[in-house]
Chains A and B, each alone.
Chain A
Amino acid sequence: QVQLQESGPGLVKPSQTLSLTCAVSGGSISSGDYFCSWIRQPPGKGLEWIGYIYYSGSTYYSPSLKRRVTMSVDTSKNQFSLNLTSVTAADTAVYYCATEGAPDGALDYWGQGTLVTVSS
């Protein structure tokens, strides 16, 4: 059973960079069995897909966030990361990491989520 755990600062100042890491256990990112995904949910709102990264380093980012998003993967640590630059209050959300079955599949395993608040 794959388990995911997000970590990172819960508070980020406006214009700074939000950085989160997702540690994966119970499965190997290097297996190539899934895409490593990020999804966010503003308080009281719905789910927004941010993008995903494959173990090879290939990425796809949502066009609405593409200019500000970078994802990376560290197969030696079995974890992947999200960087979101120039944050504003609109980026305040619970951020989830999840796995999507490769080559195509639903989001089958999710982390518990971490709330990131953008505020000075």
Chain B
Amino acid sequence: DIVMTQSPDSLAVSLGERATVNCKSSQSVSHRSDNKNYLAWYQQKPGQAPKLLIHWASTRESGVPDRFSGSGSGTDFTLTISGLQAEDVAVYYCQQYYATPRTFGQGTNLEIK
């Protein structure tokens, strides 16, 4: 199985500041054939189902604010929230869909400082 490791486990950021969440996979989740990174980011607010924010490592899902961005390739990926808003308080998960079984990171709890 591909192990996904996120850092940090929790993060407190001031409103309007930048939040950065890292995700590392135990093996590359990039296909040589199409050069795509099979990596997604999800946001889960308390009491809600996860919501897809970013797929293919850097493609925002329709309707997701542009303050959310994803980057990285191979085994190292980053979710950046530029200009943190109060409604961004949530747990964020990365997930690889390069191979089965699909696997998630352990989650990063984002709070307001």
Contact = CB atoms under 8 A, between A and B. Distances in A.
Contacts of A37: 102
Interface in B85-109: 93, 95, 97, 100-107
Interface stretch (B19-27, B45-53, B73-81): B45-53
Interface residues of A, number: 21
Contacts of B93: 46-47
Size range of the chain B interface in the assembly:
20 to 34
A38 B106 CA distance: 18
A107 B50 contact: yes
A55 B35 CA distance: 28
A100 interface: yes
A70 B38 CA distance: 26
Given A108-B52, A113-B49, A46 B104 contact: yes
A100 B38 CA distance: 12
Contacts of A107: 40, 42, 50, 52, 95
Given A46-B93, A111-B49, A106 B101 contact: no
A26 interface: no
A105 B106 CA distance: 20
B107 A63 contact: no
A111 to B, nearest CB: 7
B107 A106 contact: no
23 contacts: A37-B102, A46-B104, A46-B107, A47-B42, A47-B95, A49-B95, A49-B101, A49-B102, A49-B104, A51-B101, A62-B101, A64-B101, A104-B38, A105-B55, A105-B97, A106-B40, A107-B42, A107-B52, A107-B95, A108-B61, A110-B49, A112-B49, A113-B49
A95 to B, nearest CB: 11
A13 B61 CA distance: 40
A107 B106 CA distance: 17
Contact of B106 (A46, A51, A62, A63): A46
Contacts of B1: 63
A4 B86 CA distance: 28
A96 B49 contact: yes
A106 B50 contact: no
